[in-house]
Structure 1
Amino acid sequence: MSRLLVALLWLLHWLPLAVLAPLGEALGLLLYRVVSARRKVVLTNLRHCFPEWSEGECQQVARRHFRLLGRSLFERGLLWWAPRERLERIIRISGVERVQALLDAGTPVILMAPHFVGLDMGGTRVTMAFDIVSIYARQRDKVIDRWLHHGRSRFGDQHLLPRDESIRSTVRAMKAGRPFYYLPDMDHGRKESIFVPFFGIQTATITGLPRFARMAGAAVVPCQTRMLPGGAGYEVTLGEPWADYPTGDVAADVAHMNAEIERMVREAPEQYYWVHRRFKTRPEGERRFY
């Protein structure tokens, strides 16, 4: 089955983005109707994060979210096979000079990249500008794992580390001048997390960002990828480095990170990765969300 999916994505990648995008959105609307379990997760997340919205507003944003998910699936073949010149036209990036200036000054850099649906497009575009280090979670399906790895490493000299050997190797790579493309906003359970607010909800959040920043003496630069309407492509923004971060107060630093991610999400709520059960791990004694 996975080989058939790869073959389909190879065929689709030849299409113009203006044609590919509506096909992906149609797939997303179909998934919204038939994948009821994930639809419920998305709606549960939206209801908790945006209590001021009506049920109709939550459903409207959920449908837009699934349309973008469908696009992200059908457009993934571009990352695996499209030539560099085409990807540079499709994915625009700003802030490269800001990051390069930090690197030239000998400052390690963490690109803090929240889980937006265009995340992989953003990651690939970053690898066209920098040789990075990133943490790679192996997939159970070996065919999909192979192509995901290919897509993330086809440009430049990228350093993808498995999760179980990531800390020291990542710090060394940052100190050697590689920006760290870091995704810090998924629920990894209670063991490595603390509870801090996210949309006013006590949320299990890993403490890796301030820890990595402290160990490497790194500047944290927010990295946000947005999908643009139709055939307009993608936009990657490398923002201003955070001032006075980390502070040494881990809970405050992690809460600051969540507040910054929340601000980004509010700018384009349909683009955050709401199919993830972000609030799965609850404080002791609190009822489950899902």
Structure 2
Amino acid sequence: MEKPRFTLALLHPRHWLLWLGIILWWLISQLPYPCLRGLARVLTPVLRKVGKSRRRIISRNLELCFPQLTSAERDKLLDDNFFSTSMALFETGMAWFLPRWRLRRLFTIEGLEHLQQEDGQGVILMAMHFTTLDIGAAFLNMSASIDGMYRPHKNPVFDYVQRKGRERHSHNTEVIPREDVRGMIRALKRGRAIWYAPDQDYGPKQSVFAPFFGVEAASVTATAKFARLGKARVVPFVQTRLPGSQGYKVTIYPALQAFPVGDERDDAQRINGFIEDRINEQPEQYLWAHRRFKTRPPGEPSLYKRA
């Protein structure tokens, strides 16, 4: 996929308000990290108040996934999750706009050797939808040469800024459209490492139902399919926002062993189980605003009333 190019059409007056917002976003992103955390604290109750629909989705997901918690404990987790969502706004700006030297001071990375095995085998770098997703990808891009799956944004200005922001950290990498399955498999066969996040509900097509926190969830089969067709290893990684102003830690795990086994449900359950373990380590940082259980098995009612 060719590099993003700036055109005069992006300066059309209908885009001026968006450009103004992006300039303001850039300016705020330059603030010291402790200031951004303070702003996120201020923004948190505002988001909780105005985001009623998202609040219902988060609350329902927490109820389904953590039935063992009391109502008070789940409400505390919901508040913490809104803070993580607030931070995500600033973290994305940091990832796209901050100088590389400032970003490098914010994180440590563990397990990089799991990507540096020189065996010529491709790697599916399995990400998870934590609120720190964008900044985690930036940290990883600054440390290794990886390709990424990409879905264009409908607004051309935001699409341009998003691609420029995400690709500026890359080392001779390629952006592969999400629908280009053959392109991904070719890259894996060339020994490339490709960022891929399988933990959302993409509908019944190309999915099987497998338990996620004990609830049957539409789970993509693509992880196992790509690993098999691309003869690739599946190497999970996760980024963690540390307490206070300590920054972030990126952890790259060893490749999944004996994967795939060939049974779609078993393979999907293996992936879901690994993701559950990582969520349990930092549940407040996961993207609970996504309707993970939107697709239901035939005959089952929706789990999201009025959401």
Q: What's the TM-score bracket when you normalise by the shorter of the two chains?
A: over 0.9
Deviation at 1:25, TM superposition (A): 2.8
Task: Name the SS of the counterpart of 1:164 in structure 2.
Answer: coil
Task: Encode CA deviations 1:58-92: one digit per residue, 9 max, x unaligned.
Answer: 11101100101111102322112212111111122
Percentage of matched positions with identical amino acids:
39
| Pair 1:179-2:166 in alignment | no
Aligned counterpart, 1:248: 262
Task: Note the residue ranges of structure 2 that are not aligned, 5 or more in a row.
Answer: 1-16
Runs of 4+ in 1 over 3 A off after TM superposition: none
The aligned amino acid for 1:54 is T
SS of 1:197 mapped into structure 2: strand
Counterpart CA distance in 2 for 1:159 and 1:28 is 36
CA distance in 1 between counterparts of 2:192 and 2:143 reads: 11
Show the counterpart of 2:66: 50
Match of 1:162 in 2: 177
1:98 is aligned to: 114
2:100 alignment partner, one of 80, 84, 90? 84
In 2: Cα distance, 1:32 partner to 1:223 partner: 29
Q: CA deviation at 1:158?
A: 2.3
Shift of 1:125: 1.3
* Counterpart-to-counterpart distance in 2, 1:275 and 1:65: 9
- What displacement does 1:278 show? 0.6
Q: How does 1:231-270 map to 2 (within 5 A)?
A: 231-270=245-284
Match of 1:75 in 2: 91
Count of residue correspondences: 287
Paired letter, 1:23: L
Q: Deviations over 1:7-54 (max 9, x none)?
A: 121111221101111212321221012210000000000000011111
Q: 2:287 aligns with which of 261, 269, 273?
A: 273
| 1:111 equivalent in alignment to 2:112 | no
Q: Could you say which residue in structure 1 is the equivalent of 2:9?
A: none
Counterparts of 1:5 and 1:193, CA distance in 2: 38
Question: Residue 13 of structure 1 corresponds to which residue in structure 2?
Answer: 29
Indicate the structure with greater helix content.
1
Cα distance in 1 between the residues matched to 2:250 and 2:159: 25
Note the alpha carbon deviations across 1:104-156, whole angstroms, 9 max, x for none: 11221111111111111111111112222221111122222212111211022
Q: Is the 8 A contact 2:208 2:264 kept in 1?
A: no
Is 1:145 the counterpart of 2:159? The answer is yes
Q: Is the 8 A contact 1:9 1:76 kept in 2?
A: no
Greater CA radius of gyration, 1 or 2? 2
Aligned-residue offset at 1:231? 2.0
Distance 1:129 1:263 in 2: 25
Match of 1:232, SS state, is: coil
Letter in 1 for 2:25: L
Normalised TM-score (structure 1): 0.95
